Amino acid sequence: MIRTAEPSDLDRIIEIASQSLVDGPYAGVIKDVPAKARQCAEMVMASGKILLAAQDDGFVVGMIGIIFARHHFSDQPYATELLWYVLPAYRKGNNFGMELMWKAEQEARDWGAEDMVMTAPNDMVASIYKRMGYERLEETYRKSLNRGHLSHS
């Protein structure tokens, strides 16, 4: 079951977001700061959507957060994914991840978005996007400025 998150879901959203930073592709890269995650979730709920994947008993096992925006150069409406995560124990044998993506795309269409932008933190996720008809737009690179890098003065 996929449903739109409500304010009463914030604690569970923060739990899943924290878990994504423990065992997801951003483990050890992005700090887990629950208070900031709550502020972010509230912002997404106000200017976009958080969709939740739940088992039949209502237990939430995954989510996708999307923001609706207009491109800063063209003013084209688009949606962008901020977080897409399903707990590892619930990835096999069901379709929670894909159902979240399909529902997010539908929500974006309903809003009037012309494009959906998804972030691929690794090649496995990129391959899912390619199978779903997404095209590579750009790549993002990260460099820590605080860990063992020499300063260039």
Identify the three-state secondary structure at position 6: coil
Please give the pLDDT value at position 92: 86
Please give the pLDDT value at position 148: 57
Cβ contact 115:101 at 8 Å: no
In order of 28, 91, 144, the CA distances from 149 in angstroms are 17, 37, 8
Please give the pLDDT value at position 60: 96
Give the residues of the chain that fall short of pLDDT 50: none
Neighbours of 64 (CB within 10 A): 27
Tens-digit pLDDT profile for residues 21-54: 888 788 778 888 889 999 999 999 998 999 999 9
Pairing of strands 60-70, 48-54: antiparallel
Please give the pLDDT value at position 147: 66
Please give the pLDDT value at position 34: 87
